Amino acid sequence: MLDELDIRDFALIDYVRVPFTRGLNILTGETGAGKSIIIDAFNAVLGGKVGSGVIRSGAERACIEASFSPAPEVVAWLNRNELNQENFGGLTVSREITKSGSKSRINGTLVNLSLVQELRQKLLTIHAQHEARTLLSSQAQLDMLDGLADETHRKLLARVHTLWAQRRELSEQLKELLMSEEERNRRLDFARFQLGELEDAELLDADEDEKVANQVKTLGNVAVLEASVDAVQRYLTDGDGNGIPGAVDLVQKALFELTNAAQLDRNLASTVEELGACLDTLEERQRWFRRYRDALEVDPETLCGLEGRLAQLAMIKRKYGPTLSDALGRLDDLRSEIERLENSQTAASDLRAEFQQTDLELKRQALELSAKRKIMAARLARSIQDELYGLGMEHCRFEIFLASPELTFQNEETHDESGEVGPLGMDRAEFLIAPNPGQPLLPLSKIASGGELSRVMLAVKSTFARADSVPTVIFDEIDTGLSGRVLHSVRDKLAKLANSHQILCITHQPIIASIADNHVQVSKEQSASRTKVSVATLNEQARLKVLAGMASGQEDQQEALRFAEALFADSRRLRDGSVLTGDGS
Residue 69 shares a structural domain with residue 16: yes
Phi (first) and psi of residue 305, to 5 degrees: -65, -40
What does the pLDDT read at residue 282?
Answer: 86
Residue 486 resides in a domain: yes
Residue 93 shares a structural domain with residue 4: yes
Residue 156 resides in a domain: no
CB neighbours (10 Å) of residue 404?
17
Residue 104 shares a structural domain with residue 228: no
What does the pLDDT read at residue 411?
Answer: 46
Residue 404 resides in a domain: no
Confirm if 546 and 555 have CB atoms less than 8 A apart: yes
The CATH number of whichever domain residue 528 belongs to comes to 3.40.50.300
Residue 63 shares a structural domain with residue 94: yes
Residue 114 shares a structural domain with residue 237: no
What pTM does this model have? Answer: 0.59
Confirm if 425 and 456 have CB atoms less than 8 A apart: no
Residue 216 shares a structural domain with residue 314: yes
Q: Which amino acid is at 374?
A: K
What does the pLDDT read at residue 469?
Answer: 64
Residue 128 shares a structural domain with residue 6: yes
Residue 116 shares a structural domain with residue 219: no
Report which of 485, 476, 532 is spatially closest to residue 390, judged by C-alpha positions.
Answer: 485
Residue 74 resides in a domain: yes
More confident call, 215 vs 498? 498
**Distance from C-alpha of 577 to C-alpha of 564, rounded to nearest angstrom:** 20
Percent of the chain predicted with pLDDT > 90: 23
pLDDT confidence tier of residue 2, bands split at 50, 70 and 90? very high
For residues 48, 51, 57, 62, the Cα torsion angle rounded to the nearest 10 degrees is 50
**Distance from C-alpha of 154 to C-alpha of 423, rounded to nearest angstrom:** 13
What does the pLDDT read at residue 555?
Answer: 62
The residues near 145 (Cβ < 8 Å, ≥ 6 apart) are: 373, 376, 377, 380, 400, 429
Confirm if 401 and 430 have CB atoms less than 8 A apart: yes
Q: Is the pLDDT of residue 501 over 80?
A: yes
Q: Is the pLDDT of residue 409 over 80?
A: no
pLDDT (tens digit per residue) in 57-99 = 889 999 999 999 988 888 888 888 888 766 556 899 999 999 9
**Distance from C-alpha of 442 to C-alpha of 432, rounded to nearest angstrom:** 5
Residue environment code for 128-140, b if the CB has 16+ CB neighbours within 10 A, otherwise e:
bbeebeebeeeee
What does the pLDDT read at residue 355?
Answer: 92
Residue 95 shares a structural domain with residue 10: yes
Confirm if 215 and 313 have CB atoms less than 8 A apart: no
Residue 101 shares a structural domain with residue 20: yes
What's the whole-number mean pLDDT along residues 431-437?
88
Question: Final residue of a domain: which of 269, 300, 322?
Answer: 322
- Pick the most confident of 91-105, 214-228, 284-298: 91-105
Residue 289 shares a structural domain with residue 216: yes
What does the pLDDT read at residue 163?
Answer: 95
pLDDT (tens digit per residue) in 263-285 = 888 888 888 888 888 888 888 88
Q: How far is CA 583 from CA 301, 380, 427, in A?
A: 107, 26, 40
What's the whole-number mean pLDDT along residues 497-504?
87
Q: Is the pLDDT of residue 286 over 60?
A: yes
pLDDT confidence tier of residue 20, bands split at 50, 70 and 90? very high
Phi (first) and psi of residue 408, to 5 degrees: -110, 140
Residue 145 resides in a domain: no
pLDDT (tens digit per residue) in 93-107 = 999 999 999 999 999
More confident call, 564 vs 126? 564
What does the pLDDT read at residue 583?
Answer: 42
More confident call, 555 vs 5? 5
Q: Domain limits at 226?
A: 208-322
What does the pLDDT read at residue 21?
Answer: 93
Residue 8 shares a structural domain with residue 121: yes
Residue 401 resides in a domain: no
For residues 36, 40, 42, 46, the Cα torsion angle rounded to the nearest 10 degrees is 160
The residues near 90 (Cβ < 8 Å, ≥ 6 apart) are: 3, 67, 68, 69, 70
What does the pLDDT read at residue 415?
Answer: 47
Domain tally for the chain?
Answer: 3
**Distance from C-alpha of 274 to C-alpha of 179, rounded to nearest angstrom:** 76
Confirm if 513 and 546 have CB atoms less than 8 A apart: yes
Q: Is the pLDDT of residue 585 over 50?
A: no
506 SS3 class: strand
What's the whole-number mean pLDDT along residues 506-532?
86
Mean pLDDT of the chain: 83
Total residue length of the chain: 585
